[in-house]
Amino acid sequence: MQDNQEKCKELAIRIYNLDEEVYKCVGSSLGRTFTGQKETTIRHLAALMYTKPDGHLLRSELALISNMARTIRDKSERRRLMIEYDSILKEIESLPDTFGKTDIVDKARISLNNLIARRQNEISENDHLIICISRTQGSGGNDIGFELADQLQINYYDAEIFDQVMKRLQADKNAVSDTGNFERFDKYRKKKHTDLKTWFREFNRYHGLPKQDAVFFNMSDLICELAKSEDCVIMGRCADAILKNNHIPHISLFISAPFQVRVQHVMDIRNMNLKQAVRFLKQMDKQHKKYYEFYTGEKWGKPENYDLCINSANYGLKDTIELIQRMLDQKVH
Amino acid sequence: MKKLVTVLGAFFAVLLACPLSVFAAEGSKAPSTVPVWLCIPFAGLLLCIAVMPLVKAEWWESHQPLVVALWIILMVVPFAFVYGAGKTAETVLDCIVNDYLTFIILLFGLFCVSGNITMEGDFAGSPRVNVGLLALGTLLASCIGTTGASMLMVRPVIKMNSWRKRKGHIMIFFIFMVSNMGGCLTPIGDPPLLMGFMRGVPFFWSLHLFPVLIFNMVILLFVFYQIDKRSYRKDIANGRKPDIRKPGTQFRLDGLHNIIFLVMIVGAVILSGVLPGMSAFQDAAGNVRGIHLFGEVTLTFPALIEIVIILLAAFLSFKTTDKQIRIRNHFTWGAIQEVAVLFIGIFITMQPALMLLKAVGPNLGVTEPAEMFWATGALSSFLDNTPTYLVFLTTAGTLAFTNGITTTLGTVPTKILSAISCGAVFMGANTYIGNAPNFMVKAISDENGVKMPSFFGYMLWSVAFLVPVFIIDMFVFFL
């Protein structure tokens, strides 16, 4: 089984390298077949081979490379790359049909789990302890995250991430409406009237992308950079999904509490009456959900998407932090 | 291979079960019947184009010319048996010289010139950018022709969306709108309208179709935006992101001087429509002057002028443009070669079907605008839309209307002329072979990492998204 997996990975690397070489030989600037990240693409290709050795998806991906390879002007290069292409095809065809039958473990996901990866020594010295915390408003998630980072003596990122992204985009900080809780995020809400000049300026600044998407893309880069360089706690920002897509090991937590408890918490800390607090929480939940689902395609708060889901009301802030720490202490250290 | 033989066998069986021949219009010259079975090679070739890339892709790619030649022989030999060698040679030569040659040279010229213009920049393909590109391309198509706009826009669209995984639908809607619909506003836009112009339809009359075009654009762009948004979100969810690390957008067009050659080609197309009507190009009998080749086949001087200008533009474009631009554009001859090979087969094997259409078209009893729209459109989806347009325009001209646009074929009511024009121009988008740029866009996309649907896969898209729009068009504009 392990041999087969290794074989698939090796073939996937060869396919990726072949595409890279073909694109280089063609000299085109229109984009290669695999434009995604190397690591992700290789895993995707290996998964295609591992689960569907004769699947049409893999075949059509390969066909796109061969289409491009056939247009290489240099005959000897074309011949060399087509020989490599044929050899890869033959090896794929020789893969056994049945080796894809495995147990229930999601191997792609498990290798991203910081705890298990550390235990199985699948994590390198360069990988860091990254804790991604998603939370509902009023569940005390921010306090838990902040305190946890403090106790673990690692960095805590929330609004800071946005600040750095904005610096990178050279945007006017005052123009940033989102301060960390997605209060203004709503892609479908009718936007305020902007004049043509502003529209063109933003269009140019954000490469033709909607501002929120451009910010998200830059934020994704920044989260990946942080995760590769230090241990940290990252609050929200779809960080769990971003790190998963970029194949960076992390621990993902979802912290919530019953609605009534959250209402009480919000009333206490925000000086709101019951009606205001209920309205505020419903709106926040809706916007959190919309943001998360828009950028990740996953259901926000769905237990399957996280390593651990905690009802903070069952423990209180202090014990929730202790619970998480205990889990980390036992497994990590 | 077994599957293919079964499908082919079933198809032929159905065709052979059809009436063996259709009687031509009364009074036409001998032979009075056009055997339906003569259309089998055309159907066979279409079936090969549709099925072979699915069942035997690599073999098909390397043996296309042989297969096309085989179907041509299978059409020419029985045709000669029915009509005689002389008539066959005349039909084939006429098709090659007067239809195929100008068609492929125009395509070649636009392919060469547009391949020498490249866009450098880091605009990222997003739903709103793509909607803007499609809208721009659609409107541009009426100014420089559907083929010109397609060739000019296809590479920038591919490049901007290169960061994305799901982009086949972008090229499909590109074919729907830029390669077809956009051509409805002027005679430059699409060859059928140029034919109409040559038959007396005023040059700017097609602007009457603007409301139809805008109506369709709004519907299709809205649908496209929704589809593209879903794909865009899926791409983001899978971790795809464009390279936007640098603040601000760099945008540059290289090889821009080729616009001059593009204008030259558009000018040549206009001349080919204008010159035949001028007395200097007509003999005493009113026939267009030219080089007599065989029988009644003549390569007319206006066509010759068009060919020379286009080839000159292509030559100058190559001579004056840095080779690096073509390399960056991934310019290859593959796409044009494929179209040239397949379409010579399509043009020649299509002749019996066109003869059949000419024979039965006027007797179909098609008189209402909605009927004209669907009849012209349905046939334009598979046959060349220019002769299809002419058959139905001629039919409409013989219906003795007194109000409408006066053409050399008779007076045609505006609504009927609109229906015929829209049917011919719009429904070329129904299949890959409905209009020349369709196949070019597919071939260029295939070469540049865009996964395009198969022949039937594409038809599913057109049935799902175009046909409902055409049904709405019928209710709003042609009933």
Mind listing the pLDDT tens digit for each residue in B357-379?
Answer: 778 767 777 888 999 999 999 98
Query: What's residue B3's pLDDT?
Result: 44
Task: Find the CB nearest A27 among B120, B126, B327.
Answer: B327
Number of domains in chain A: 2
Q: What per-residue confidence (pLDDT) applies to B311?
A: 95
CB of A243 less than 8 A from some CB of B? no
Rounded to 10 degrees, the C-alpha dihedral B318/B324/B326/B329 comes to: -160
Q: Which uninterrupted H or E stretch holds A213?
A: helix A211-229
Do both A68 and A118 map to the same domain? Answer: no
In a domain, A101, yes or no: no
Whether residue B57 lies within 8 A of chain A, CB to CB, comes out as yes
Q: Are residues A179 and A221 in the same domain?
A: yes
Report the pLDDT value the prediction gives residue A254, as an integer from 0 to 100. 93
d(CA B99, CA B111): 18
Q: How far apart are CA B163 and CA B215, in angstroms?
A: 31
Q: Does a structural domain hold residue A100? A: no
A258 close to B (CB below 8 A): no
Contact B370, B420 (CB under 8 A): no
In a domain, A147, yes or no: yes
User: Are residues A62 and A55 in contact, defined by beta-carbon separation less than 8 angstroms?
Assistant: no
* Both tokens assigned to B188: 């430059």
Quick check: A218 and B129 CB within 8 A?
Answer: no
Same domain, A86 and A115: no
Residue A138 lies in a domain: yes
Neighbours of A319 (CB within 10 A): 12
Average confidence (pLDDT) over A202-226: 84
Taking CA–CA distances from B248, the nearest residue in chain A reads A205
* pLDDT score recorded for residue B258: 93
d(C-alpha A130, C-alpha A234), whole Å = 7
Give yes or no: residues A130 and A235 share one domain.
Answer: yes
- Domain hosting A127: range is 109-332
CA–CA distance, A188 with A287 (Å, rounded to integer): 11
Domain-located, residue A99: no
Q: Evaluate whether residue A145 is within a structural domain.
A: yes
Share of chain A above pLDDT 70, in %: 75
Q: Is residue A118 domain-shared with residue A85, that is, in the same domain?
A: no
Give chain A positions within 8 Å (CB) of B162: 30-32, 35
Q: Identify all chain A residues contacting B159, using CB atoms and an 8 Å cutoff.
A: 29-31
B276 preceded by cis ω (within 30°)? no
Asked if residue A104 is part of any domain, the answer here is no
Of A93, A120, A141, the domain-final residue: A93
* Euclidean distance between CA atoms B51 and B49, whole angstroms: 6
Compare all CA atoms of chain B with the CA of A170 and give the residue at the minimum distance: B247
| pLDDT of amino acid B11 | 43
Compute chain A's Rg from CA coordinates: 24
A295 and B330 in contact by Cβ < 8 A?
A: no
Between CA A305 and CA A312 the distance in angstroms is 18
Please indicate if any CB of chain A lies within 8 Å of the CB of B233.
yes
CB pairs under 8 A between A and B: 126
Cβ–Cβ below 8 Å for B447 and A67: yes
Chain A contact present for B91, CB below 8 A: no
Nearest Cβ partner for B241 among A26, A217, A297: A217
Q: How confident is the model at residue A106 (pLDDT cuts 50, 70, 90)?
A: low
Cα A309 to chain centroid, rounded: 18
Tell whether A28 and A119 lie within a shared domain.
Answer: no
Q: Is A314 on the interface with B (CB under 8 A)?
A: no
Taking an 8 Å cut-off on Cβ atoms, the answer to whether A205 and B446 are in contact is no
State which of A12-26, A137-151, B114-128, B224-238 shows the largest mean pLDDT: B224-238
The domain that contains A226 carries what CATH number?
Answer: 3.40.50.300
Q: Per-residue confidence at A124, pLDDT binned at 50, 70, 90?
A: low
CB contacts of A68 in chain B (<8 Å) are 330, 447-449
Contact B128 A213 (CB under 8 A): no
pTM: 0.79
**Of A34, A69, A93, which residue is a domain's last?**
A93
Residue ranges in chain B whose pLDDT is less than 70: 1-33, 247, 361
Residues in A closer than 8 angstroms to B329, CB to CB, are 28-30
Q: Do A40 and B239 touch (CB under 8 A)?
A: yes
A187 belongs to a structural domain: yes
